[in-house]
């Protein structure tokens, strides 16, 4: 696996200087470098977002800002990204990464519990119809809460818009028999089941890195 990832990385477009800085600082300043989106998936979501031509993106789970920068780079000058993060200790690192990438004016960082932030955004958008719905929602936060995130964001994604959910293969735990009963695995498995049986969407799981569920709202 490491050899294949190395080969894929070497034969994909290189990350920018700002993204390299975020990657390095993530490994230096946190104990969770494995959570980083990384060059290959970052490039994938950037190119996918560019193809979809979004004006409004919502990200649930910023971590150190790598994926937020990738998504913001796909926005036009008039576009905007709202991104949610619970860990306020990462704020300085996140904002510095945005500044280095030159996308700080396109991103609003919202610190706090994701469900509370989503409930606030949902209320604002549904009550003020002049406020546009999101073209893309990218979910990469607490795996236990994926089903709740899906329910909260569905009505604020425009018809034809996309929901992307990361880590949906969860190191293969979701198809193990018996399946592990920890709350993270159960949350991901339940989310995948909900999406697969939802007649309001079209979806496909793409086996990039730890699995990306690509969901189009019909």
Which residues, including other chains, have CB under 8 Å from residue 17's CB and lie 6 or more apart?
100
Task: Give CA–CA dist 34/96, Å, rounded.
Answer: 20
| Segment 97-116, tens digit of pLDDT | 999 999 999 999 999 999 99
CATH of the domain at 80: 3.40.50.150
When computed from its CA atoms, the radius of gyration of the chain, rounded to whole angstroms, is 17
pTM of this structure? 0.96
pLDDT digits (tens, 9 = 90+) for 6-18: 899 999 999 999 9
User: What is the pLDDT at residue 3?
Assistant: 84
Residue 35's pLDDT band, with cuts at 50, 70 and 90, is confident
With tokens 């890195």, the residue in question is 209
Average pLDDT score over residue span 174-185: 96
pLDDT band for position 32 (cuts 50, 70, 90): confident
Domain of 40, in residue numbers: 2-217
Q: What is the domain count for the chain? A: 1
Average pLDDT over every residue of 214-218: 98
Over 80: is that where the pLDDT of 180 sits?
yes
């Amino acid at each position: 696996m490491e050899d294949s990832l190395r080969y894929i990385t070497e034969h994909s477009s290189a990350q920018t200087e700002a993204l390299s800085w975020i990657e390095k600082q993530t490994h230096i300043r946190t104990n969770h470098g494995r959570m980083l989106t990384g060059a290959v998936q970052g490039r994938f979501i950037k190119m996918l977002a560019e193809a979809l031509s979004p004006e409004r993106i919502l990200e649930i789970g910023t971590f150190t800002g790598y994926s937020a920068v990738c998504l913001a780079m796909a926005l036009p000058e008039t576009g905007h990204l709202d991104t949610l993060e619970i860990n306020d200790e990462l704020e300085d690192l996140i904002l510095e990464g945005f500044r280095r990438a030159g996308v700080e004016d396109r991103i609003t960082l919202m610190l706090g519990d994701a469900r509370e932030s989503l409930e606030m955004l949902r209320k604002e958008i549904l009550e003020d119809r002049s406020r546009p719905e999101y073209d893309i929602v990218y979910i990469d936060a607490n795996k236990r809460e994926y089903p709740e995130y899906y329910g909260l964001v569905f009505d604020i994604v425009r018809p034809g818009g996309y929901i992307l959910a990361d880590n949906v293969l969860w190191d293969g735990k979701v198809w193990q028999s018996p399946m592990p009963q920890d709350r993270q695995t159960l949350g991901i498995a339940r989310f995948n089941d909900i999406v697969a049986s939802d007649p309001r969407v079209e979806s496909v799981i793409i086996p990039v890195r730890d699995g990306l569920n690509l969901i189009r709202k019909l």
